[in-house]
Amino acid sequence: MIRIVALTEAGKGLAAHLKTKLVDAEVWFKPQPFTEKVQQAFASGDRLILICATGIAVRTLGPVLGNKHKDPAVLVLDEQGQFVIPLLSGHEGGANEWGAQVAEKLGAQLVLTTAKSYLKPVYCVGMGCERDTPVPEIADLFSDCLQQLGLNIRELNSINSIDIKADETGFIELATMSKIPFQTWDKEQLGTVESLLSTRSDYVFNTVGVYGVAESAALYAAQQASGDFEAAPELLLPKQKKGRVTCAVARAYVKEEGVEGA
């Protein structure tokens, strides 16, 4: 859930406009008691867009901050919608990428202050399915996962699976329709990211030799795409299952060309 919090009439108008551009968002206008409600939402894991001064945001959330690996993403916007500031969980929580997406929707300027601001995120999708699953069923979950993350197909690097799925018609058709490369990896390659999986299935391991096809394929592909084999890729969206299909999304970072000191 996304909570868009506004404290002024101008901010309220911006919040209402922004709500139309986001999925699963709710507007809070002058919530009472303000501090308690915002802190509760944050502690519950809700992503926050605070249309207020950064000082108010810092003083409000300071007492409930945990760590960058668990805290949800927080953005701060001015009431005119000119600037978007990823305030908390820039990398691990995805606030930097989310902030870029919000800034693009509003035609606003993204203000990044984190050390990795010169790195470009790369997103890879991992998928698994029962043999001969029709492409509409595969595409349905694929679209749901992108929507959950607010990602556009153009932002994806690749669709990935295990090598025994190299001839899976549904995956090949989806990749062709989406104009995204379809890649497969063997169980030895996928096994190198085993420690990063959110869940492990003994049944899947006994069947194909890895503890999870979708997550493993997404993570390994992201690592390969980044070219940075020392930094671990991140599981941005853990395995989602719908019918006969599974899907996961991973992210890694790649240095942008032509950036000095990167």
Contact (Cβ atoms closer than 8 angstroms) between residue 180 and residue 158: yes
pTM: 0.58
Nearest CA among 148, 159, 141, 156 for reference residue 237: 148
Please, which residues have CB within 8 angstroms of residue 94's CB and are 6 or more apart in sequence? Answer: 73, 149, 236, 251
Which of residues 226 and 229 earns the better pLDDT score?
Answer: 226
DSSP annotation of 151 reads: -
Q: Could you tell me where in the chain the CATH 3.30.420.180 domains are found?
A: 119-255
The topology under which CATH files domain 119-255 is Nucleotidyltransferase; domain 5 (3.30.420)
Contact (Cβ atoms closer than 8 angstroms) between residue 85 and residue 57: no
Which of these ranges, 23-27, 52-56, 107-111, 115-119, has the smallest mean pLDDT? Answer: 115-119
**Span 96-115, mean pLDDT?**
81
Q: Please give the class, per CATH, of domain 2-110.
A: alpha beta
Reading the block at residue 84, the tokens are: 């978007």
CA dist 180 and 222 (Å) reads: 14
pLDDT at position 4 over 90: yes
pLDDT at position 258 over 50: no
CA dist 104 and 157 (Å) reads: 20
Q: Could you tell me where in the chain the CATH 3.40.50.11220 domains are found?
A: 2-110
